[in-house]
């Protein structure tokens, strides 16, 4: 129980205790240096901050001035370009920043510039790229799977290509994105970071990430072979991860990966990483285009549905108005027919009948003239309302004059002939 507590405490204060002592020992080994920080940090600071007046006059905005801390603590360039994408944030970034701060014995300025050196010079701008997300990491993950398959062929044969790839992917998301912080024991972790920051392989600066991951899997190959027997692919991935994690916690202090990579293999791994990253980029671009197309189709469908709803509402209103109008017209027609029959049977005064018919005619003509004016958008029609009224007045006088004859005829004979109709 006490040993477990001590191990947990050592892992917790690793970035501030063990790495700070390494930094102090490195500083004490160079008595001629009067400045603080590692020689590599001083070189980085000179490359970033040691600009002359000529450089500042020729450059509109210096690199150091264009960098600013964002809300998430990242150094964000105010003028990002395609060759220098803005990095994204993952949980492992804080672990890497803690390691950089530990290497500089807690001095924030040196730790900041070391972290910038790690992101831009060692890992590269594509490792934590925002769009496509983590482009360089996805390429290195494929390269790590290829190196593990070549270094541990028996394990690859036992698990299969697909299962091994899924297991390496789960392990890489924990190790590569955090720089093995919290995964390796203390002294091997310090040794890994020294190798990573020294950039011993200029052709592929991220090679220590891949080689140490392959070496860790190769170190736990015996335990993996006994633990993965008879397991399905779904069960093998978590067992693989836990077995390698336990083996990493129990590494001796002088442990180093036994993976030796030649220059030809380095170039091959770099090519695999680039090809996998490009394939991932193409897949993400195709997915982005599909998402944009789906959004456009969804917006078009929304507009179409809205237009259909509006048309249905308008049709309902028009149908209600037409039903009301047809009902009124039917009632009026029925009333006119009844009045006409009553006049034919002599049950109604002929003068009132003619007045009713004249009013109905005037109403119909008024509606007709209104529709004609609407059709020509307010211009004068061939017959105005005044002309229609004058015409109706003349017809009314004519029908009144004829009504005298009808009245005299009705008085002589009580049953008027059925063909006798008032002229309208």
Q: pLDDT (tens digit, 9 = 90+) per residue, 21-79?
A: 444 444 444 443 344 344 444 444 444 433 333 343 333 333 333 333 333 333 444 33
Range of the domain at 230: 9-46+84-286
Q: Which residues pair with 69 in a beta bridge?
A: 75
81 CA to centre of own chain: 21
Same domain, 168 and 38: yes
Q: What share of the chain is helix, strand, coil (3-state, %, to 5)?
A: 70, 0, 25
Q: Evaluate if residue 138 carries a pLDDT over 90.
A: yes
Does 304 reside within a domain? no
Query: Measured between alpha carbons, how far is 220 from 206 in angstroms, rounded to an integer?
Result: 22
Does 76 reside within a domain? no
Query: Measured between alpha carbons, how far is 230 from 158 in angstroms, rounded to an integer?
Result: 10
Q: Are 335 and 357 in contact (CB under 8 A)?
A: no
Q: What is the pLDDT of residue 179?
A: 94
Cα distances (angstroms) measured from residue 60 to each of 71, 147, 149, 157: 25, 45, 50, 58
Any idea what DSSP says for residue 177?
A: T
Same domain, 354 and 264: no
User: Which among 254, 286, 318 is the end of a domain?
Assistant: 286
Confidence category of residue 332, pLDDT binned at 50, 70, 90: low
Tell me the helices (H) and strands (E) count for the chain, helix number first. 17, 2
Does 62 reside within a domain? no
Same domain, 90 and 211: yes
Query: Measured between alpha carbons, how far is 210 from 316 in angstroms, rounded to an integer?
Result: 70
Higher pLDDT, 67 or 108: 108
Q: Evaluate if residue 308 carries a pLDDT over 80.
A: yes
What is the per-residue pLDDT across 407-418, written as a single tens digit (0 to 9) for each? 555 555 444 444
Q: Are 29 and 115 in contact (CB under 8 A)?
A: no
Q: Across the chain, what does the average pLDDT equal?
A: 73
Structural domain total, the chain: 2
* For the ranges 50-59, 82-91, 172-181, the one whose mean pLDDT is highest: 172-181
Same domain, 99 and 209: yes
Any idea what DSSP says for residue 84?
A: B
Query: Which whole number is the average pLDDT over 275-285?
Result: 93
Same domain, 17 and 142: yes
- Burial of residue 32 (number of CB atoms within 10 Å: 0-12, 13-18, 19+): exposed
Q: What is the pLDDT of residue 304?
A: 87
Higher pLDDT, 243 or 410: 243
Same domain, 41 and 169: yes
C-alpha gyration radius of the chain: 46
């Amino acid at each position: 129980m006490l040993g477990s507590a001590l191990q947990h405490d050592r892992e917790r204060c690793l970035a501030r205790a063990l790495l700070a002592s390494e930094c102090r020992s490195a500083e004490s080994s160079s008595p001629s240096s009067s400045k603080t920080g590692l020689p590599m940090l001083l070189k980085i600071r000179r490359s970033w901050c040691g600009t002359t007046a000529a450089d500042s006059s020729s450059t509109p905005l210096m690199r150091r001035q264009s960098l600013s801390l964002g809300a998430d603590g990242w150094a964000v360039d105010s003028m990002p370009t395609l060759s220098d994408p803005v990095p994204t944030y993952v949980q492992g970034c804080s672990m890497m920043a803690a390691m950089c701060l530990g290497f500089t014995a807690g001095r924030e300025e040196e730790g900041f510039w070391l972290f910038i050196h790690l992101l831009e010079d060692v890992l590269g701008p594509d490792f934590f790229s925002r769009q496509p997300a983590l482009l360089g990491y996805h390429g290195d993950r494929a390269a790590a799977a290829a190196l593990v398959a070549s270094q541990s062929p028996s394990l690859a044969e036992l698990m299969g290509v697909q299962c091994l790839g899924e297991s390496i992917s789960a392990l890489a998301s924990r190790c590569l994105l955090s720089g093995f912080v919290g995964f390796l024991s203390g002294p091997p972790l310090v040794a890994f970071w020294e190798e990573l920051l020294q950039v011993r392989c200029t052709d592929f600066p991220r090679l220590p990430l891949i080689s140490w991951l392959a070496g860790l899997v190769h170190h736990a190959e015996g335990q993996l072979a006994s633990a993965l027997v008879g397991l399905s692919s779904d069960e093998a991935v978590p067992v693989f991860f836990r077995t390698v994690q336990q083996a990493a916690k129990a590494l001796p202090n002088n442990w180093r990966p036994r993976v030796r990579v030649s220059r030809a293999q380095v170039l091959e791994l770099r090519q695999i990483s680039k090809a996998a990253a490009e394939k991932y980029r193409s897949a993400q671009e195709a997915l982005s285009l599909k998402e944009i197309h789906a959004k456009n189709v969804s917006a078009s469908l929304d507009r179409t549905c809205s237009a259909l709803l509006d048309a249905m509402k308008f049709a309902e209103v028009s149908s209600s108005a037409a039903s009301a109008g047809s009902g009124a017209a039917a009632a009026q027609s029925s009333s006119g027919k009844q009045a006409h029959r009553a006049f034919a049977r002599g049950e109604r005064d002929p003068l009132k009948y003619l007045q009713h018919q004249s009013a109905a005619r005037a109403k119909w003509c008024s509606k007709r003239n209104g529709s004609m004016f609407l059709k020509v958008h307010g211009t004068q029609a061939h017959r105005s309302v005044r002309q229609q009224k004058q015409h109706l007045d003349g017809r009314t006088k004519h029908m009144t004059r004829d009504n005298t004859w009808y009245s005299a005829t009705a008085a002589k004979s009580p049953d008027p002939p059925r063909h006798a109709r008032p002229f309208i």
